[in-house]
C-alpha cells in the first residue's frame, strides 16, 4: 500500500482526536506532521509530536491535509486550505466555511461517497450533528424517500471545545459548594441547565440559530435532495461528550416498523440498541469513544402516516468530526482519487 504524507492542522480536541484516529486505524502515513499557530511539542496518548507553525510552505510536501476546524486552528482553512490544494495536497476541512460551496463536496462516506468523484482537491466535513443524523436516515431515504425531518438535538459541551469542557467541570464543583461559577463559554451557566441556543441567529432563517440552519441545509446537500423539509432545534446540555438527537422522519413511501428496523440494523456505521422493555437504548455514555452511530427507541408515529420516531447518539468528536474526516481520506484512497 502506498504511504502518504499527512498534515493535521490544529491540535485542540478535534486535532488531537485526528492524530489518535489515524494511529488507531493504521492509516498509511509515511509522515505525520501537526501544524498549529505556534511551534511546540505535544504529547498524545504517550507519544510526543513536534508541532510546527502553519505556513503556506508547510504544505509543499504534504499529500493529505486534515484541518481540525474551529475546535483547532480557527480560520486556518480560510487562510491555507486552497493554498494547500495549489501546492498538491488533498484537503479535508472540518470547519464550516466551505461546506455549501458548489465546488466543494460535503461528504459522509456511508451516505454519499460518490460525491468525492467530483472533488477539486478540497472536501468538507459536515457539522457533527448533521453527520450522525444522516448516517441514520440516509438508508431510509434510499428505501422510501424522506419527505420531512423534525429533529431536536441534545449536544455535549465538547462540541464547543476544551474551554467549555473545563468550564462545565468547574461549575460541577463550584455551584454545589456555593461558589460563583465561571460563565464564559455560553450565555448562561451550563451545569444543572439546558440552553436552547447553539450559535447566533441566522440572517436568512429568522428565529433559527446557525447550528439549526446547518442541519437543514447540510442534510439536503449530503442526501442530494433539496425538497426534504427539515426543522431543527439545537440544545446544549451538561454532558461532557457525545450528542443525542430525537428525530421524527416522515417518508414518501410506506414502510412497516419491522422494515425500518431491518434497514437500520443492516446500515453501515449504525448500531441498533432497541429494547424498551429491558431499558436498552442508546446512551451518551455508551457512545463516548465509539465509532458507530447508535439508534434506538424506533417506533411508528401514530399522528402521521409513514412517519417514525427514533433516538440517535454518537460521539461528536469522533464520528462527528475526526473519524469522518479520516474515513473520507480512506475512501478517497480506496477509490483511487489520491494519487501517490
User: Catalytic: which of 141, 234, 243, 312?
Assistant: 243
Q: Which residues pair with 312 in a beta bridge?
A: 245, 295
Q: Which residues pair with 149 in a beta bridge?
A: 230, 249
What's the grid cell of residue 339?
494519487
Sheet of 122-124, strands arranged across: 40-44, 47-53, 29-36, 4-9, 64-67, 90-93, 122-124
What's the grid cell of residue 44?
498524545
Sequence-distant (6+) residues with CB within 8 A of 213 are 202, 204, 205, 232
Q: Which residues pair with 251 in a beta bridge?
A: 146
What's the grid cell of residue 136?
441514520
Q: Is residue 254 a contact partner of residue 301, using CB atoms and an 8 Å limit?
A: no
Tell me whether residue 148 is exposed, middle or buried, using C-beta atoms within 10 angstroms of its C-beta: 0 to 12, 13 to 18, 19 or more.
middle
Closest to 191 measured CA to CA, from 202, 180, 199 = 180
Determine whether 243 is an active site residue. Answer: yes
User: Catalytic: which of 119, 128, 141, 234?
Assistant: 128
CA dihedral 65, 70, 76, 81 (to 10 degrees): 50
Tell me whether residue 300 is exposed, middle or buried, using C-beta atoms within 10 angstroms of its C-beta: 0 to 12, 13 to 18, 19 or more.
middle
What's the grid cell of residue 253?
413511501
What's the grid cell of residue 318?
469522533
What's the grid cell of residue 58?
508547510
Please state, in angstroms and rounded to a whole number, the distance separating the CA atoms of residues 269 and 263.
Answer: 12
Q: Is residue 198 a contact partner of residue 155, using CB atoms and an 8 Å limit?
A: yes
- Report, as residue numbers or ranges, the catalytic residues: 128, 243
Amino acid at each position: 500500500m502506498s504511504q502518504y504524507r499527512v498534515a493535521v492542522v490544529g491540535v485542540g480536541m478535534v486535532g488531537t482526536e485526528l492524530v489518535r484516529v489515524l494511529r488507531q486505524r493504521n492509516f498509511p502515513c509515511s509522515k505525520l506532521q501537526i501544524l498549529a499557530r505556534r511551534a511546540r511539542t505535544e504529547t498524545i496518548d504517550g507519544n510526543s509530536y513536534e508541532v510546527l507553525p502553519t505556513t503556506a510552505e508547510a504544505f509543499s510536501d504534504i499529500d493529505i491535509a486534515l484541518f481540525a476546524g474551529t475546535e483547532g486552528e480557527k480560520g486556518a482553512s480560510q487562510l491555507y486550505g486552497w493554498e494547500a490544494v495549489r501546492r498538491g495536497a488533498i484537503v479535508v476541512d472540518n470547519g464550516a466555511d466551505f461546506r455549501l460551496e458548489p465546488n466543494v463536496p460535503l461528504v459522509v462516506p456511508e451516505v454519499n461517497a460518490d460525491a468525492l468523484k467530483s472533488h477539486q482537491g478540497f472536501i468538507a466535513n459536515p457539522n457533527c450533528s448533521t453527520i450522525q443524523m444522516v448516517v441514520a436516515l440516509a438508508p431510509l431515504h434510499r428505501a422510501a424517500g424522506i419527505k420531512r425531518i423534525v429533529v431536536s438535538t441534545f449536544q455535549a459541551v465538547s462540541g464547543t471545545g476544551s474551554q467549555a469542557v473545563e468550564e462545565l467541570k468547574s461549575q460541577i464543583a463550584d455551584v454545589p459548594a456555593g461558589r460563583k461559577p465561571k460563565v464564559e463559554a455560553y450565555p448562561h451557566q451550563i451545569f444543572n441547565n439546558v440552553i436552547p441556543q447553539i450559535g447566533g441567529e441566522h440572517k436568512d432563517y429568522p428565529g433559527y440559530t446557525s447550528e439549526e440552519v446547518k442541519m437543514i441545509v447540510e442534510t439536503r446537500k449530503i442526501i442530494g435532495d433539496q425538497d426534504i423539509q427539515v426543522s431543527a432545534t439545537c440544545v446544549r446540555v451538561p454532558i461532557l461528550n457525545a450528542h443525542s438527537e430525537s428525530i421524527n422522519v416522515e417518508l414518501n413511501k410506506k414502510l412497516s416498523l419491522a422494515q425500518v428496523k431491518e434497514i437500520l440494523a443492516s446500515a453501515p456505521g449504525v448500531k441498533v440498541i432497541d429494547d424498551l422493555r429491558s431499558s436498552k437504548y442508546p446512551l451518551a455514555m455508551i457512545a463516548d469513544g465509539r465509532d458507530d452511530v447508535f439508534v434506538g427507541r424506533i417506533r411508528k408515529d401514530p399522528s402521521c402516516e409513514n412517519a417514525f420516531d427514533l433516538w440517535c447518539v454518537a460521539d461528536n468528536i469522533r464520528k462527528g468530526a475526526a473519524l469522518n474526516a479520516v474515513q473520507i481520506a480512506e475512501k478517497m484512497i480506496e477509490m483511487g482519487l489520491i494519487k501517490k
